[in-house]
Amino acid sequence: FEPQDANLKQWTPKELPPEASQQVRALTTFLMGSVSSQYPERYFYLPPGQKKDMQEGWWIVKKYNCMGCHQFTLDQESVLMTLPVYQTPDGKGQLPPRLVTEGARVGPEWLARFLANPALSEKEPDRDGVRGYLKVRMPTFNFSPIEIQKLVRFFQALSAQPIPYIPPRLEPLTTQETAMARALFTSKGAPCLKCHAIGVPAHDKYASAPNFLLAQDRLKPDWVTHWILDPAMIDPGTAMPSGLFKEAQDHWVFNGPTPPIFKGYEGDQANLLMRYLFELTPAEQQRLIQMSGGSLNPAPSKASSEWRAKPQPKSRRALVGTLLQAH
Let me know whether 25 and 85 are in one domain.
no
Distance separating alpha carbons of residues 270 and 181, to the nearest angstrom: 10
Is the predicted pLDDT of residue 308 greater than 80, yes or no?
no
Let me know whether 209 and 233 are in one domain.
yes
Let me know whether 8 and 68 are in one domain.
no
In a domain, 315, yes or no: yes
Let me know whether 186 and 126 are in one domain.
no
Let me know whether 77 and 129 are in one domain.
yes
In a domain, 170, yes or no: no
Q: Choose the final residue of a domain: 131, 158, 185.
A: 158
Q: What is the pLDDT of residue 74?
A: 86
> SS3 of 99, please?
coil
Let me know whether 81 and 142 are in one domain.
yes
- Give the pLDDT confidence of 151-182 residue by residue, as tens digits: 999 999 999 999 999 999 999 999 999 999 99
In a domain, 166, yes or no: no
CA distances from 87 to 93, 94, 120 (A): 10, 10, 30
Please state the domain count of the chain: 3
In a domain, 167, yes or no: no
Is the predicted pLDDT of residue 261 greater than 70, yes or no?
yes
**47 pLDDT tier (thresholds 50, 70, 90):** very high
Let me know whether 201 and 315 are in one domain.
yes
Distance separating alpha carbons of residues 98 and 298, to the nearest angstrom: 23
Q: What is the pLDDT of residue 94?
A: 93
In a domain, 169, yes or no: no
Let me know whether 132 and 223 are in one domain.
no
The domain of 15 spans: 3-35
Residues 6+ apart with CB under 8 A from 197: 132, 133, 203, 204, 207, 209, 210, 211
Let me know whether 68 and 13 are in one domain.
no
